[in-house]
Amino acid sequence: MMKHEYDVIIAENYAAYRPPLHDLILKKCLKGYQKSKFKLGLDVGCGTGQSSVALTGFCEKVIAIDPSPEMLVMAKSNRRISYKSFDGKNLDFPDDQFDIVTFAGSLFYAKSQRLFDETLRVTKRDGLILIYDFEIMMDEFQRDLGILVEKSLEGYDHWLDLSGLDTYGISKLFTQKERIKIQVSPKEMTHLLLAEYGVYQALLSKYPDVIPFDMVYGKLKNLHLQELPVDIFYTLYKTEK
């Protein structure tokens, strides 16, 4: 199967279900800002729009950008969100445009001095830059399926912030990591597993003659709601330019 086909299938599962972690994290990070909504927010690396929809709880309008056309096609429609394509480097917006900029699980793929410079340029003075991510602990479910995708092979860092860049013009307000638990149904768990590229590849390799969704759901459907541990990570900055 070609990479494009993987991307489409993974995007479909990603769009079908994501746990409400974006809402939870935003409420934790922005609890002091809930009563006065921001006018305009920018969601960098929006994926299928889960993070963008959550951000509308704090913004009158959100512009959501992503480099993946497969993700944007699946993005959740919302009258307060404008979706746009993004090359991963340049922010095609005027200076001092946004009250808040968020990177929800996207900074790992886009972190660069150039993007930071661009982010600072388009963010208003006293604006916020929020970087957050989460890691859903699915090892137990992978073992039940006879696979285990080693996290170290992917090299992904959930606990990533702007460290290592020349972060002039901003100050760090706080940074936090904590573990929470959420409940998921068998169908929701199936979508979560199949939205992971490494998991999907491993399943196709081990079970080449079955439909992955049917096989995974068939193994999980007799389970009750599961408590799933999730590590959440977030860092909030304020601009001082």
Residue 198: its pLDDT value, please?
A: 85
User: Structure pTM?
Assistant: 0.83
The answer to the question of residue 229 being in a domain is yes
Query: What HEC string does the chain produce?
Result: CCHHHHHHHHHHHHHHCCCCHHHHHHHHHCHHHCCCCEEEEEEECCCCCHHHHHHCCCEEEEEEEECCHHHHHCCCCCCCEEEEECCCCCCCCCCCCEEEEEEECCHHHHCCHHHHHHHHHHEEEEEEEEEEEEEECCHHHHHHCCCCCCHHHHCCCCCCCCCCCCCCCEEEEEEEEEEEEEEECHHHHHHHHHCCHHHHHHHHHHCCCCCHHHHHHHHHCCCCCEEEEEEEEEEEEEECC
The answer to the question of residue 214 being in a domain is no
The answer to the question of residue 40 being in a domain is yes
The answer to the question of residue 74 being in a domain is yes
Low pLDDT (below 50) residues in the chain: 2, 152-153
Residue 98: its pLDDT value, please?
A: 98
Residue 43: its pLDDT value, please?
A: 98
What CATH number does residue 80 fall under?
Answer: 3.40.50.150
**Domain span including residue 25:** 3-10+17-136+154-181+225-239
Residue 104: its pLDDT value, please?
A: 97
Residue 5: its pLDDT value, please?
A: 63
The answer to the question of residue 210 being in a domain is no
**Domain tally, the chain:** 1
The answer to the question of residue 44 being in a domain is yes
The answer to the question of residue 165 being in a domain is yes
The answer to the question of residue 212 being in a domain is no
